[in-house]
Each structure stands twice: as structure tokens, then as C-alpha cells.
Amino acid sequence: MKADKAESQKWDIGNDVVVAITWGENCFGIPGNNQMELAISRNAEFVPGCNAILPTSDTFDPELESIIGFADSCFGKDQDTVRAMIEDRFGIELKDGTKLTEDTDDTVEYLYQGLDITISEVDFHEISIISDADSGQVFDIVFWDLTLTAEQEQYDYQIYLHKFTSYYGKLDTYFFSDYSSYIYDNNTEVMFGGSADAYDTYF
């Protein structure tokens, strides 16, 4: 829990099952973010809290894999084509996009808000489509939720962290925030995470 103060009790209840209960104050460095966690583990060297070593999965989350493959298929196309592909894929309408970059920038980014998308247990309400200013080709798609509490941001991050690390193992992490990434298909980088200060989740 990365808490300022915490305690834990652990019981071996038989059949290689361990149950642990942990409480923490000011978790993840957020004053007043006090949490209680109940954890159940089998056949793992268990450490209570977010440092638990979880069993490795034989398969990756199929919904995440599908969305990553879809995004990969969008790259290299223009903004209008990618917008239409996203609308068709999610059954939504991307309208009134806000341009977040200047005409002199190297990239062109449009942000679409007011959406309601769930990808593998995590909700998103904004999408950014980012393209190269010279070629017009899209190279980055970002799903956002910019209206989170610090607790929800951490919860969403832990969901994705478990799904990715249980299959891919150790990921690259970024010291400035709760971001992690890995390289998909030797070419495309997948990043996910969020900021407890800015209250966002990013995929």
C-alpha cells in the first residue's frame, strides 16, 4: 500500500491458501487515503499489500489484447479515418473534438470528451487521437478518465498492472507517476497508469 503506517496479519488456512488482512494510513503518499485490504493467495510467496507476487497467467486478458491490436491497426492512417474506425469499434460518436496542439507543433492532437467506454474493468470518458503534423499519420491513441478520485486511480492502475505483469512479467516503470509500459510486437509501446495528483487514468 506504500503507506506511512501499516500493520498486517497473515494466516495459513491449509491447502496452500494464505489469507492476509492489512490496513494502512496515508496510502500511496496521499494524506487521508486510509485503506483496508483483504488478500487471498494460493501457491505464491505472499507479501501483504501491493507487493504481492501473483501467480503467472498462461493467457493475456483477451479484451486488452483485442484493443491493443485494434489501436495498432489504426497507426499510419489519417485522423478522419482513425476517428471513424474508433466510432465503429466502440459504437460511439466522436464529435466536437478539441485541438490541443498549435499549428506550429510537431504533432496534432484532438481530444474527444463525454464518452462512456469500459475496457477490461476500467472506465474511460475521453479519447485522444495524435498524429504527425507533417505526414498526417496517427501514431498514438489515448484513452483517458480525467475525473477520478486518488483511490479510484490507484485501483484502476492495480487492475491493469496485475493483468499485464501476470502475463508479461516485469514492466518498465516511470518514476514521475504510476505509469508502466511494455513493447508490443517489437514496435508499438503500450503505456498505462495515472496520476494521484491529477486524478486521471491513462491507457
- Over pLDDT 90: what percentage of the chain? 39
Contact call for residues 192 and 179 (beta carbons, < 8 A): yes
Which residue in 193, 202, 159 sits closest to 173, CA to CA? 193
For the chain, the residue count is 203
96 DSSP assignment = S
Amino acid at 17: V
Give the 3-state secondary structure of residue 145: strand
DSSP track, 9-78: EEEEEETTEEEEEEEEESGGG-TT--EEEEEEEESS---SSTT--PPPPSS--HHHHHHHHHHHHHTTS-
Prediction pTM value? 0.70
Angle at 154 between CA 149 and CA 160, to 5 degrees: 130
Tens digit of each residue's pLDDT (9 = 90 or more) over 58-117 = 788 999 999 999 998 999 999 999 999 999 999 999 999 999 999 999 999 999 999 999
Q: At residue 51, does pLDDT exceed 50?
A: no
